Amino acid sequence: MSQTMGGESKQRVYVRLLTVLAILLQLVLVPAVQAQPALGQDPEGSVKLLCHPTVTADCTKGTVELTYTYQCHDLKIWVEDGAGHTEKVLLQQDDVCTGSKTLKYQYNWATEGINVCQSHVLKATWSETKSDSFGGGQQCCPSSLTITKTATGSCTGVSGTITAQNTGEHDALVTSVTDKVEYKKSGSTWYTLTTTNVQGADTVPTGGSKSWNYSVSFTPVSGATAYRNTAYVTISNHPDGTHTFQVTVSFTVPSAASCVECGTSRLSDWQEVSRGDWYYKAATDEWCQDVHYHKVDLITGKECENKTEPECEPYVDCQAGHVSDWQEVSRGDWYYKAATDEWSRTYTTTKWT
pLDDT tens readout for residues 54-71: 999 998 899 999 987 778
In a shared domain, residues 173 and 252? yes
Amino acid letter at 172?
A: A
Per-residue pLDDT of 188-232, as tens digits, reads: 899 999 999 999 999 999 889 999 999 999 988 888 999 999 999
In a domain, 348, yes or no: yes
pLDDT value for 34 = 40
User: What pLDDT was estimated at residue 49?
Assistant: 44
Q: In sequence order, what are the beta bridge partners of 233? A: 177, 245
Whether residues 240 and 339 fall in one domain: no
Q: Which helix (DSSP H) or strand (DSSP E) does residue 175 occupy? A: strand 172-184
Q: Are residues 107 and 209 in the same domain?
A: no
In sequence order, the β-bridge partners of residue 344 are: 335
Mean pLDDT of the chain: 83
Strand pairing report for 271-275 and 241-251: unpaired
List, as one string, the DSSP characters of 207-236. Answer: T-EEEEEEEEE-PPPTT--EEEEEEEEEEE
Q: What does the alpha-carbon distance between residue 349 and residue 329 come to, in Å, rounded to a whole number?
A: 5
Does residue 294 lie within any of the structural domains? yes
Same domain, 269 and 302: yes
Find the domain containing 334 and state its range: 321-353
Residues 315/286, Cβ–Cβ less than 8 Å: yes
- CATH number at 96 reads 2.60.40.10
Percent above pLDDT 70 for the chain: 81
Residues 62-115 pLDDT 10s: 999 998 777 888 999 999 998 899 999 999 999 898 877 889 999 999 889 898
Give domain status of residue 336, yes or no.
Answer: yes
**Tens digit of each residue's pLDDT (9 = 90 or more) over 321-332:** 666 778 777 888
pTM for the full predicted model: 0.46
Give the pLDDT band of residue 172 (cuts 50, 70, 90).
Answer: confident
Residue where a domain terminates, one of 134, 168, 192: 134
Determine, yes or no, domain membership for 48.
Answer: no
Q: What are phi and psi of 9, to 5 degrees?
A: -65, -40
**pLDDT of amino acid 33:** 40
Are 252 and 273 found together in one domain? Answer: no
3-state secondary structure of 264: helix
- 263-281 residues labelled b (16+ CB within 10 A) or e (exposed): beebeeeeeeeeeeebeee
Q: Which residue has the higher pLDDT, 38 or 149?
A: 149
From 258, 274, 291, give the residue that closes a domain.
258
Query: Same domain for 241 and 335?
Result: no
Among the three residues 258, 277, 301, which one is the final residue of a domain in this structure?
258
Whether 101 is covered by a domain: the verdict is yes
Share of the chain above pLDDT 90, in %: 44
Q: CB neighbours (10 Å) of residue 177?
A: 22
228 occurs within a structural domain: yes
Residues 156 and 118 in one domain: no
- N-to-C CA span, the chain: 181
- DSSP code of 266? G
Residue 343 has what pLDDT? 87
Please state the rounded mean pLDDT for residues 240-247.
86
Do residues 184 and 225 make contact, with C-beta atoms less than 8 angstroms apart? yes
Same domain, 127 and 224: no
State yes or no: pLDDT of 37 exceeds 80: no
What CA dihedral angle connects 323, 326, 332 and 337, to 10 degrees? 130
- At residue 45, the pLDDT reads 40
Q: Which range among 44-48, 172-176, 320-324 has the greatest average pLDDT?
A: 172-176
Cβ(52)–Cβ(76) under 8 Å? no
Q: What is the pLDDT of residue 319?
A: 62
Confidence of residue 184 (pLDDT cuts 50, 70, 90): very high
Q: Is the model's pLDDT at 26 over the cut of 60?
A: no
Residue 7 lies in a domain: no
Could you write out the three-class secondary structure of 1-62? CHHHHHHHHHHHHHHHHHHHHHHHHHHHHHHHHHHCCCCCECCCCCECCCCCCEEEECCCEE
State how many domains the chain has. Answer: 4
Residue 91 sits in the same domain as residue 163: no
Half-sphere CA count of 110, side-chain side, radius 13 A: 10
Q: Please indicate, yes or no, whether residues 158 and 215 belong to a single structural domain of this protein.
A: yes
Whether residues 243 and 160 share a domain: the answer is: yes
Q: Is residue 137 predicted with pLDDT exceeding 90?
A: no
158 & 87 share domain: no
Q: Is residue 31 part of a domain?
A: no
Beta bridge partners of 63: 56, 106
In the prediction, which pLDDT does 4 show? 45
